[in-house]
């Protein structure tokens, strides 16, 4: 415990260095183990820190002839921290570029994400695993990283216990539509391990906002912590034909889609020089977000701020059913399972990696305008991923195959079968 407290203190100090200091510090790291510990044990390193550590780690390993996965297996043979390390590296935008350069590593890491003796790890990482497959399907095809990842999963399932193999099978099965046809046979070979009709059960199909929201007017409340992002939002949507409009919710812009009026009401909460909200401003932000979530006149809440708040804590019994949340803050997808559990009827669009203003704006264009045109979630994803695959792959939403929910169904079926055998 004492060592962990000291490690936490040191990681916090390093995270608070200036950008110039971080750029100078990272090249001084002398051991790949430092990067492994920092990424696997830190709760919230900055994305710049993570990328610098990971780049330094790969550079140091190149001198030894070892790969990242070989090193991880050496220092963590029981895979206690391997999954956390790899998925954090992915969330901080460091892993995917590496896998595209070294597709064979995508195959080697597959067993580390589905450890034989740690089933709780798989469940705990369900949302992050959803995001990894989504990004690989959008950006890992040309390099071969997606193919090698699926191959690694299939090989691992063939050697693992039946229980672990079923989890791999469920993961591939829910993601089947994201995979090119050449990889579907691998999915079908493993589907026989799953209980009949498992993925046909209720709970895997997202609800339709059109059945929940008014027919004539939708209001979306936007919350900004950055003056630059706030100004950029108005410029971008004015250019898209939105006009300024008066509402009680803040500076608003509206646009007509047939007989439907869509209003985007934006409010700025001035942050500090780094864009973080402090004191009474932070309290006002949380109070307003919670109020919007409980206001039946507001269809959706859209956030563009740093990842300093657990928005999942604002969800509860009072949240209006069918509410939509677009959270562009860094790694908001880490709470996706908890968000879905708090509000099963809500619609969540969350970020797998580092938050950026343009990605949030693209999400509004793709999701809000797509829904306003009457499109379903599949059509929204198809159009967004075709127009901008990099930003689309970063945002998980109702179109993302719900691996966590598939795991819940699988575990329920396993318990039911175990009871019958007894």
Tokens representing residue 316 in the block: 């509860």
Which pTM does this prediction carry? Answer: 0.80
3 or 146, greater pLDDT: 146
pLDDT the model gives residue 10: 85
pLDDT tier, 68 (very low <50, low <70, confident <90, very high otherwise): very high
Enclosing H/E stretch for 104 = helix 103-113
In this predicted structure, the answer to whether residue 178 has a pLDDT above a threshold of 70 is yes
pLDDT the model gives residue 181: 92
Worst-scoring range by mean pLDDT, 156-165, 245-254, 354-363? 354-363
What is the mean predicted confidence (pLDDT) over 99-127?
91
Please provide residue 348's backbone torsions phi and psi, each rounded to the nearest 5 degrees. Answer: -115, 130
In this predicted structure, the answer to whether residue 202 has a pLDDT above a threshold of 70 is no
In this predicted structure, the answer to whether residue 412 has a pLDDT above a threshold of 70 is yes
- Average pLDDT value for the chain: 88
Tens of pLDDT along 282-336?
999 999 999 999 999 999 999 988 877 888 888 877 899 999 999 988 878 778 8
What is the mean predicted confidence (pLDDT) over 349-377?
87
pLDDT the model gives residue 313: 87
């Amino acid at each position: 415990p004492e060592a962990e407290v000291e490690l936490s203190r040191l990681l916090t100090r390093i995270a608070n260095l200036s950008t110039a200091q971080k750029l100078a510090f990272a090249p001084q790291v002398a051991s790949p183990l430092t990067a492994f510990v920092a990424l696997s044990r830190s709760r919230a390193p900055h994305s710049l820190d993570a990328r610098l550590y990971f780049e330094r780690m790969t550079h140091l390993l190149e001198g030894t002839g070892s790969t990242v996965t070989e090193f991880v297996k050496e220092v963590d043979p029981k895979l206690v921290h391997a999954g956390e390390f790899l998925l954090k590296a992915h969330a901080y935008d460091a892993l995917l570029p590496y896998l595209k350069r070294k597709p064979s590593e995508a195959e080697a890491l597959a067993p580390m994400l589905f450890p034989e003796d740690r089933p709780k790890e798989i469940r705990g990482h369900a949302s992050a695993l959803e995001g990894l497959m989504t990004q690989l399907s959008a950006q890992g095809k040309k390099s071969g990283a997606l193919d090698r990842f699926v191959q690694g999963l299939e090989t691992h399932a063939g050697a693992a216990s039946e229980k672990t193999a079923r989890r791999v099978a469920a993961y591939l099965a829910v993601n089947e539509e994201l995979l090119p046809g050449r990889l579907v046979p691998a999915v079908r070979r493993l589907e026989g391990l799953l209980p009949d009709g498992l993925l046909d059960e209720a709970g895997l199909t997202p609800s339709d906002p059109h059945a929940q929201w008014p027919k004539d007017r939708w209001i979306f409340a936007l919350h900004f912590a950055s003056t630059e992002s706030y100004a950029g939002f108005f410029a971008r949507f004015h250019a898209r034909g939105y006009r300024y409009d008066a509402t009680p919710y803040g500076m608003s812009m509206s646009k007509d889609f047939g007989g439907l009026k869509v209003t985007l009401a934006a409010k700025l909460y001035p942050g500090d020089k780094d864009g973080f909200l402090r004191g009474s401003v932070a309290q006002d932000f949380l109070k307003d977000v919670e109020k919007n979530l409980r206001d039946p006149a507001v269809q959706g809440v859209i956030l563009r701020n740093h990842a300093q708040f657990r928005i999942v804590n604002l969800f509860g019994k009072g949240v209006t059913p069918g509410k939509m949340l677009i959270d562009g803050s860094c790694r908001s997808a880490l709470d996706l399972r908890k968000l879905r559990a708090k509000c099963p009827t809500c619609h969540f669009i969350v970020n797998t990696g580092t938050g950026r203003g343009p990605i949030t704006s693209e999400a509004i264009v793709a999701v809000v305008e797509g829904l306003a045109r009457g499109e379903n979630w599949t059509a929204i994803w198809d159009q967004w991923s075709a127009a901008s695959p990099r930003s689309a792959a970063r945002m998980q939403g109702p179109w993302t195959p719900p691996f966590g929910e598939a795991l819940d169904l699988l575990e329920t079926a396993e318990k039911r079968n175990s009871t019958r055998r007894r």
